[in-house]
Structure 1
Amino acid sequence: MKLFSLSVLYKGPTKAHLLKAAYELSSVGYFQRSSVQEVMTFTCGLIVERSPPGCRCSVQEQEYMCHVYIRDDCLSAVAITDTEYPQRVCFSLLDKVLDEFSRQVDDRDWPTGSPETIRFTRLEEYLIKYQNPREVDALTKVQAEVDETKIILHNTMESLLQRGEKLDDLVAKSEELGQSSKAFYKTARKQNRCCKMM
C-alpha cells in the first residue's frame, strides 16, 4: 500500500488551481519523478474541475487511484494512492487535511493562493504518517489482526490433517457430540463443499 501524493486545491468557477501539494515518489525512477509529479498535478486539477461541489469520489487511472473530496465551499483535497490503499482511510485523511487547512489558511486566500503563497506545512507530515494505514487507522489494524488470526487457525487445522487425522473421522468417532450435532456437521460439510477457507 502506497500513498503517492496529497493535494489541496480550490475549485473556481471555470478552473481548479493548486494551493498546496506534497509528493512521495521514491518508488518512481529518479529521471521520471518530475514528469510523474506534473501528471499527478494535472490529473488532480482535472478531476476537481469536472466534479461537483460536495463530491467524494475515487477514480482509477492505470495502477493509481485518485481519491477526491470537494467540500461545498469549493475547497478540495486529492490523494493519489495505489489500488490496494483503503478507500475509507483516504477519505478520513482528506477530511482531516481540509479541516486543518481551513483552520490555518484564511478562506479569502483560497481563490488567489498558490503553493508559493500559502503557508501550510502539514501535508508532508500527513503524507509520511499515512504511508502505512494500519498504523493510523484502528479499524484497518484490527482487520489485519483478524486476517492474521485466520491464517494461523487455517495453518493449525492443516497441521491436524497432515498427521493423518481427518476432522470428519474425529466427529464420527466422538462420544461427546450428540447425534443432532453430528448430523448438523455432516449437513454443513455437504453444503460448504464448494467453498474453501482462505
Structure 2
Amino acid sequence: MFLICFAGVHTGIMKLLCLSVLYKGEAKSNLLKAAYELSSFGFFQRSSIQEFMTFTCGLLVERSAFGSRASVSEREYMCHVHIRDDGLAAVAIADTEYPQRVCFSLLEKVLDEFSRQVDDRQWPTGTPETIRFTMLEEYLNKYQNPREADALTRVQAEVDETKIILHKTMESLLERGEKLDDLVQKSEELGQTSKAFYKTAKKQNRCCKMM
C-alpha cells in the first residue's frame, strides 16, 4: 500500500524493508513497534514511504483473520503477515526474491520474543514510544541476507506453505465497494505530505508501483 516512485530502486539484491509488530483489535489495528530499512530510496521520499508502509501493515492486519498467515504480492514486492489467535501480529515487507519461508520463520520468532518481553495488557493501547522492545532493528539487520538468516532458521520446522494465503494485490483484501483512494484520504496515519505524494504519483503514473 505504499508507493514507490523511484527509478532504478530495485537493485536485484534481496532486501527486507520493514518489520513491524501490531495488535489486531476488533475494528482497528494498533502499531506497537516498527523498524525500516529505506536506504535504497530517495532521501526526500523516505518519510512518505515509511508512512505508507505503516499504513499497509495496519491494513493487512485489519483485513486478515485471527490465526492466519498471508502474503500479498504486488510487482517486485511482497508483504507477509502472521496474526496469532491472541491478536498479536507481525508484518514483513520485502522484495519478491526474499524467501517466503525465511520471512515467516522471522515473523514467528519476532512474535514469540515480543510476547515474552511485553505484557499482553499493553498490546491494545501501547505505542512505539511506550513499548519497550529493542530487538526489531537487530532482527531487521540480521535477516537482510536471507542466506545467512536461513542458517539460523533451519533448525526450526519448515513453514507449511500450503497454509499461507496468497493474494495477488492489496485490492484483493478490500471489501466490495471499497476504494484504495478513499482509504488513503481517510487515513489518520498518513500526513498531508504523504497524501499529496500519493496523488502526484498517481497522476504522473511514472515508475510507480503500488503495494
Normalised to the residue count of structure 2, the TM-score between the two structures is 0.65
SS at match of 1:79: strand
Of the three residues 92, 116, 120, the one matched with 1:79 is: 92
Distance 1:13 1:118 in 2: 21
State the superposition RMSD in angstroms.
Answer: 1.5
Alignment of 1:67-146 (within 5 A): 67-138=80-151
Distance 1:58 1:72 in 2: 18
Letter in 1 for 2:44: F
After superposition, give the CA deviation of every residue in 1:11-35 in whole Å (9 maximum; x if it has no partner). 0010001000000000011000001
After superposition, give the CA deviation of every residue in 1:90-115 in whole Å (9 maximum; x if it has no partner). 00000000000000000000001000
* Contact 2:105 2:153 survives alignment (8 Å): no
Distance 2:127 2:55 in 1: 15
1:23 and 2:36 matched:
yes
Letter in 2 for 1:131: Q
Unaligned regions of 5+ residues in structure 2, if any?
A: 1-13, 155-211
Distance 1:76 1:139 in 2: 22
Specify the alignment match of 1:164 in structure 2: none
Of the three residues 42, 46, 66, the one matched with 2:79 is: 66
Letter in 2 for 1:99: D
SS at match of 1:135: helix
Greater percentage in strand: 2
Q: What is the percentage of aligned positions where both structures have the same residue?
A: 80
1:3 and 2:16 matched:
yes
Distance 1:62 1:105 in 2: 35
* Contact 1:133 1:140 survives alignment (8 Å): no
Cα distance, 1:133–1:70 mapped onto 2, change above 3 Å = same
Greater percentage in helix: 1
Q: How many residues align?
A: 141
Cα distance, 1:140–1:77 mapped onto 2, change above 3 Å = closer
Specify the alignment match of 1:13 in structure 2: 26
* Contact 1:20 1:115 survives alignment (8 Å): yes
Distance 2:31 2:94 in 1: 18
Distance 1:80 1:136 in 2: 16
The structure number with the bigger radius of gyration is 1
* Contact 2:61 2:83 survives alignment (8 Å): yes
The structure, 1 or 2, with the larger RCO (C-alpha pairs under 8 Å, 6+ apart) is 2
* Contact 2:80 2:92 survives alignment (8 Å): yes
Offset at residue 140 of structure 1 (A): 9.2
Offset at residue 139 of structure 1 (A): 9.0
Offset at residue 138 of structure 1 (A): 2.6
* Contact 1:134 1:140 survives alignment (8 Å): no
